Amino acid sequence: MRRFTRFAFVGTIVIVFLPMFLGMTGSATAQKPEVINIFVLGDMSGPYASVMAPTQVALDDCAAYINNELGGVDGVPIKVTNFDTAGKMDVGLTAYAQAREIKPKPLVGFGYISSLNAALREKLIRDEIVFIATTAPDAIYPHGFTFGWFPLYPDWYGVFVDWLAKKEPGAKLAILTWDTAFGRGVMTRECEEYTKRKGIQLVAQEVFAINAVGVETHLRKIKSLGAKWIYSNTASGGAQLILKNAYEMGYPIKLAGAEHMGDYSLSRMAGDKLVNGTISSWYQTSFEDVDDPGMRIANRYFVKKGYLEKYKTHSYPIMWTALGTAYEAIKRAVAKVGWENLDGKAVKVAMTTLRDFKPFGGLSYITYTEDRRTPTKAYICEINNGKMVRVSDWMECPDLRAPEFKLK
């Protein structure tokens, strides 16, 4: 009788607790999604198309590397869906409305158009989707779910000013840029004050339409003020126009900007004669960095696919950097909260834990904090015969955010 009772008791324990045990051990598998969705709001047919052409192939290549060679996120593949906004606000808002309805719900999105990114900031908070975007200040701040691909535009301008102040103390500098949220991203009080503190003379700040066919009037004014250096927060099409008009005027300028202004596409569009000597600040490695582990992986795919020369722009390594960063944040979020609790909020928290993170072992140094939501390091290149030639080491970007964009 005792023996029967003991077996009955054990059997009862097994019957009661075995389903619970199996449920717990199976929950990780049961809660995994079929895919992790990421979307891109790009511009494949508008004013940024010349530098955006490589984005989709870069993301496809990077996702293939993650899924096929790294096993996805604990076996779950990443799927990237691209939307062409044509650089238009209404098209971009419609594309976002479609993107947020993708199933499973996207954890991360990427955005390339500054004005659109700013318009989406509150919607992303509402929808709890992490967004890695271009870095006009009002697209990133006040703090929400948006992070910058690269340094904040004022910070990126500031690192150039740091370099120029050492190279040519007291230099005269003018800003000539697009009349867009993107272009005006460097026309802030903080940029003006920082330039003055560094001993550089900012003699003019001029804007021109994104579809302008000439900037001669602006250049004549800048020339009359004695500026040798011009900083332009444009894409390569804007830079080409400035260089062409300055050459036609016989005005020997030194043009500078960030990598979206000066990269391989600028050399192809304007030619080495006009472009050589242009200064470009980069936040991730270029195709010349053949020994960088992350760039070596990206370049392996680029060469393997035999892409046309037009795909060789800064956007190819940027997308590897951005997707590699998102991949790391999602992995960290899963490790912390588990698949059953994985959502945009968990990914946002994970993003703020990145410190000098190198995607795929290289490419860049990505740091995000709860307060500062853009990378903080860059280096300076001089464009020479279509190559990005480094003329500085990695530099720390100054923090040129407006006071209202800093946490108290």
Among 150, 181, 340, which Cα is nearest to 263's?
150
Terminal Cα-to-Cα distance of the chain (whole angstroms):
73
pLDDT at 146 > cutoff 70: yes
Gap between the Cα atoms of 189 and 157, Å rounded: 13
CATH code for the domain in which residue 310 is found? 3.40.50.2300
Specify whether 194 is located in the same domain as 130.
no
Does residue 12 lie in a domain region? no
How many Å is the Cα radius of gyration of the chain? 24
Confidence of residue 138 (pLDDT cuts 50, 70, 90): very high
Name the average pLDDT for the chain: 92
Amino acid 25: pLDDT: 42
pLDDT at 165 > cutoff 60: yes
Amino acid 266: pLDDT: 95
Specify whether 137 is located in the same domain as 161.
no
Between 48 and 177, the more confident residue is 177
Give me the mean pLDDT over the 30-35 stretch.
86
Write out the residue range of the structural domain in which residue 248 sits. 154-282+395-405
Specify whether 278 is located in the same domain as 167.
yes
Specify whether 221 is located in the same domain as 238.
yes
Q: For 352-387, give the DSSP string.
A: TT-SSB-GGG-SB-B---SS--S--EEEEEEEETTE
Does residue 287 lie in a domain region? no
Amino acid 310: pLDDT: 85
pLDDT at 21 > cutoff 80: no
Does residue 72 lie in a domain region? yes
Amino acid 65: pLDDT: 98
Specify whether 219 is located in the same domain as 331.
no
Specify whether 313 is located in the same domain as 353.
yes
Query: Residue 202 forms beta bridges with which residues?
Result: 173
Does residue 388 lie in a domain region? no
Give me the mean pLDDT over the 314-334 stretch.
97
Gap between the Cα atoms of 65 and 30, Å rounded: 25
Does residue 128 lie in a domain region? yes
Q: For 110-168, give the DSSP string.
A: EE--HHHHHHHHHHHHHHT-EEEE---HHHH-SSSSEEESSS-HHHHHHHHHHHHHHHS
Specify whether 223 is located in the same domain as 106.
no
Quote the percentage of the chain above a pLDDT of 70: 92
Does residue 123 lie in a domain region? yes
pLDDT digits over 285-308, tens only?
A: 999 999 999 999 999 999 999 998
Amino acid 59: pLDDT: 95
pLDDT at 4 > cutoff 70: no
Query: Residue 174 forms beta bridges with which residues?
Result: 204, 230
Among 121, 105, 101, 123, which Cα is nearest to 113's?
121
Count of domains observed in the chain: 2
Specify whether 268 is located in the same domain as 332.
no
Amino acid 5: pLDDT: 45
Amino acid 6: pLDDT: 45
Specify whether 206 is located in the same domain as 335.
no
Does residue 17 lie in a domain region? no
pLDDT at 24 > cutoff 50: no
pLDDT digits over 228-278, tens only?
A: 999 999 999 999 999 999 999 999 999 999 999 999 999 999 999 999 999
Amino acid 171: pLDDT: 98
pLDDT digits over 182-234, tens only?
A: 999 999 999 999 999 999 999 999 999 999 999 999 999 999 999 999 999 99
Specify whether 252 is located in the same domain as 320.
no
Residues 6+ apart with CB under 8 A from 253: 219, 227, 228, 229, 230, 242, 243, 246
Confidence of residue 46 (pLDDT cuts 50, 70, 90): confident
pLDDT at 13 > cutoff 50: no
Specify whether 235 is located in the same domain as 306.
no
Does residue 7 lie in a domain region? no
pLDDT at 52 > cutoff 80: no
Specify whether 272 is located in the same domain as 400.
yes
User: Against a cut of 0.75, is the pTM above it?
Assistant: yes
pLDDT at 26 > cutoff 90: no
